[in-house]
Structure 1
Amino acid sequence: MMLTGRPLSAERAHQLGLVSTLVEGDVREAAMERATAIAVFEPDVIRANLRLATRAWDLYEAELWKADDAVADEIMGSAGVRAGLAAFENREG
């Protein structure tokens, strides 16, 4: 589409991996469902994953795996994860 200027159907965009989901019916409801699924994660986790996704296009595979490890370390060391682990350890029952 970028090079030819021709429109791209939703189905073709899905085949190419440009979109992850096709929706029939209420797209607003589908968008809210997706947003709700994402919103359960800590904002810092979402930001770290978005940074990695943005950089992924510019990295070779080996570099991408290193970047992924760095993001995982960042997430696992975050205040939100530490608080969650502490709550889990201190639970009753």
Structure 2
Amino acid sequence: MAIGAKDKIDALLVKKYQGLKVDNPVIQTSMVDPNRMLEAMNDFAAIHMNAINIQQQLKETCIKAISLNIQYRKSRNLKSRRKVAKAAN
């Protein structure tokens, strides 16, 4: 992949603006400190990772609770069926 003008219009634009130097002091004064930005990104990533871990733990807890409830209902139903069968005899 070549760097530079691809056609005549691009070549003319490059020639026109290659000598100009853009010095915008507003950009430098309003720029966020890169270290602070990196710290903010790390904090965001850590919070996101904690949220994912909490979500996974909650999911596992709900699955366990649902499975225990299903087993409890089955065993409870079996006991009540035995009582009904004994009462019928």
One fold, TM greater than 0.5? no
* Interval containing the TM-score (normalised by the shorter chain): under 0.3
Structure with more of its chain in helix, by fraction: 2
TM-score (norm 2): 0.25
TM-score (norm 1): 0.24
The higher-RCO structure (CA 8 Å, 6+ apart) is 1
